[in-house]
Structure formats: structure tokens, C-alpha cells
């Protein structure tokens, strides 16, 4: 589950930097560079997408629940409503994945 957490942490970092940069409604050069530097981590995520998916598929129900809790604790946005919606969507996606796997 640690590889999944690292991949999600990369996405969380990019999202949080973008959210912070957009507080004034625009992204300046320094903020853009900061976002771009954090986005470099996406290369590793994309290169490892198959092992990450395999790791996701092997998670138990308890591990999925723990991953959802971890995500909610790590993810933070300025707009709390938006944050809650994204956290609910993340949990729903995890649940849908389990449901589809069980249908096979």
C-alpha cells in the first residue's frame, strides 16, 4: 500500500500547490514553477501504473478503508466543501473498484 500512498501523495501535492496558488485567482511564475516541479513526480506514477494497479487490486477491504482514511487526513484544500467532495469521490471510486472486481 505504500506505493499507492506515494503516488497519491504526488497527486495531493500538485493539487494543494495549485489550490494555494489560485487563492488570488492567478498563477505567477514562481507558483507555476513550483507546481511544475511537483508534477515531475507524475512521471514515476505513470511509469509504475501497472504495478500500482496490481497493488490496488490486492488490497483487502480493511486496507481500502485505511487508504481512504489516510487520503482524507493528507488531502487539504482552502475550500472545505470542495475538499469534502473530492474525499467522497475518492472513497466512492475505491468502493466502485471493489464492486466491479467482485462482479467478475
- pLDDT, tens only, 17-63: 999 999 999 999 999 999 999 999 999 999 999 999 999 988 988 99
Its pTM stands at 0.86
Q: How do the domains of the chain map onto residue ranges?
A: 2-103
Give the whole-angstrom CA distance, residue 73 versus residue 59.
Answer: 19
Going by pLDDT thresholds of 50, 70 and 90, the confidence category of residue 104 is low
Interhelix angle for 61-74 vs 80-103, to 10°?
A: 160
DSSP state of 96: H
- pLDDT, tens only, 5-30: 999 999 999 999 999 999 999 999 99
Amino acid at each position: 500500500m505504500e506505493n499507492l500512498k506515494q503516488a497519491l501523495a504526488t497527486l495531493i501535492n500538485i493539487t494543494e500547490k495549485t489550490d494555494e496558488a489560485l487563492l488570488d485567482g492567478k498563477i505567477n511564475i514562481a507558483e507555476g514553477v513550483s507546481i511544475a516541479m511537483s508534477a515531475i513526480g507524475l512521471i514515476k506514477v505513470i511509469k509504475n501504473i501497472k504495478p500500482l494497479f496490481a497493488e490496488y487490486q490486492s488490497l483487502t477491504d480493511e486496507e481500502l478503508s485505511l487508504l481512504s482514511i489516510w487520503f482524507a487526513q493528507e488531502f487539504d484544500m482552502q475550500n472545505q466543501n470542495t475538499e469534502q467532495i473530492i474525499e467522497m469521490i475518492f472513497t466512492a471510486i475505491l468502493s466502485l473498484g471493489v464492486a466491479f472486481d467482485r462482479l467478475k
